[in-house]
Amino acid sequence: MKENIDTLALILLDSLAFLSYNQKREILKNANNISDILDKEFLLSLPNIDKIDRVIEFLTRENLQKVEQEISKYTVITYLDENYPDAFWQLEDYPLCLYCLGDTTLLQSQDSLSVVGSRKTLPQVLKFVSLLVKQVAQNRVIICGNTEGVEQEILSSTMGQNTICFLGGGIEKSFNNKELFTIAQNGLIITEYYPTHLQKGYQFIDRNRLIAVLCQEMLLISGSEKSGVRYTVEFAKQNYKTLYALPYTIGEPSGELCNEEIKNGAILVNKLQDLVKVENSRPSLTEQEKIVLSLIEQGTTQEDFIIEQSNLSVQEVLQILVTLEIKDYIIKSGATTYALTKF
């Protein structure tokens, strides 16, 4: 029972959004037992705590029940628990509590790959990510976030299988699509923020440090020089993680960071085979489809030019392009342009 009160008191303290992380640590440091923090006199004896009146108002035994109710849906791992991931102890600002939904045993995995990238990513790269993570998730744990672009692509490809998804806010405030529920069923959703806390911009950077620290290896998909991904990469390097990156052509803004990291020693990945074993199982092509595909291979990627140079009728070319798309050979990469998905 005592242990339970300790945990709940800790969660109650963690749920106070108006207190900073350092202030929470300060309070905990001074307490002999964690349940002491529910004691008004103990709180009054603390030096240098702002808004102490509000703290006293909220840290009461009555509020414990409310907290217990609010977190009943989630699994909460505190730093007091045995299954608290060891990796987080490397952090100076280790999370006090982790709010989880799904399979928490994934956190103990010793073979995980975090896949990071920016919101603005080329469609052909997204296609590559989708194929890659499907393969990787068969036998490794994938760690990612839940923002648009690369991270959304990962989640919709693996549907949560062997996937740990870190949120930049409370679970309730981030749950705006059905997809996240599927992920919780197959994999794990995890965050250091109390379920009702809002998502805030800077929290995503904080979240990135957890992604970087928990994984064994990191794959960098995309990112411009100013992208928030650079923090994640920086954390990973500080923690001596192996870094992989995709190469980009010169001048492609969404690939500046990748090229930079490759220059600095990241391992270049340009084929699925670089990370996983794959068998080519794509369906065969007809003669006409081969003509169009070879045109795209040679750099004729715009519809109008394909129509002119293939000597096929408009409707034939349109049919072939859709068929090639269904067969996974090409992807629409711009308003009227196509790109290969052959990696």
Minimum CB distance to another protein smaller for 25 or for 120:
120
Residue 310: burial class (beta carbons within 10 Å; 0-12, 13-18, 19+): middle
How far is residue 92's CA from residue 269's CA, in Å, rounded to a whole number?
32
Residue 84, token pair as written in the block: 């608290």
Interface region with another protein, contact rule CB under 8 A, candidates 182-190, 210-218, 237-245, 318-326? 318-326
CB of 317 to another protein, least distance (A): 8
Span near another protein by CB under 8 A; candidates 120-128, 164-172, 213-221, 288-296: 120-128
Q: Does 305 bind another protein (CB under 8 A)?
A: yes
What are phi and psi for residue 114, nearest 5 degrees? -95, 135
Helix (H, G, I), strand (E, B) or coil at 28: helix
When binding is defined by CB under 8 A, the residue of 37, 113, 116, 122 that contacts another protein is 122
Q: Does 332 bind another protein (CB under 8 A)?
A: yes
Answer yes or no whether residue 17 interacts with another protein by CB under 8 A.
Answer: no
Q: Whose structure tokens read 């009943």?
A: 72
315 binds another protein (CB under 8 A): yes
Quote the least distance from Cβ 17 to another protein, whole Å: 24
Nearer to another protein, 95 or 149 (CB): 149
SS3 content of the chain, % helix, strand, coil (to 5): 50, 15, 40
Tell me whether residue 104 or residue 156 sits nearer to another protein (CB atom).
156
If binding is defined by CB under 8 A, does position 333 make contact with another protein?
yes
| Helix-helix angle 229-238:256-263, to 10 degrees | 20
Q: In this chain, which stretch among 34-42, 101-109, 134-142, 320-328 interacts with another protein, using CB under 8 A? A: 320-328
Which one of 24, 120, 134, 237 is in contact with another protein (CB under 8 A)? 120
Helix/strand/coil for 183: helix
Q: Is residue 187 within 8 Å of 103, Cβ to Cβ?
A: yes
- Residue 342 contacts another protein per CB under 8 A: no
Which residue, 99, 6, 108, is CA-closest to 61? Answer: 6
Does position 93 interact with another protein (CB under 8 A)? The reply is no
Note whether 253 binds another protein by CB under 8 A: yes
Contact flag: residue 304 with another protein (CB under 8 A):
yes
Any idea how long the chain is?
343
Q: Report the residue from 190, 326, 341, 343 that binds another protein according to the rule CB under 8 A.
A: 326
Pairwise CA distance, residues 241 & 235, whole Å: 9
Candidates 31, 44, 33, 28; CA nearest to 2 is: 33
Residues interacting with another protein, by CB under 8 A? 119-120, 122-123, 148-149, 156, 253, 301-305, 307-308, 314-315, 318-319, 321-323, 325-326, 332-337
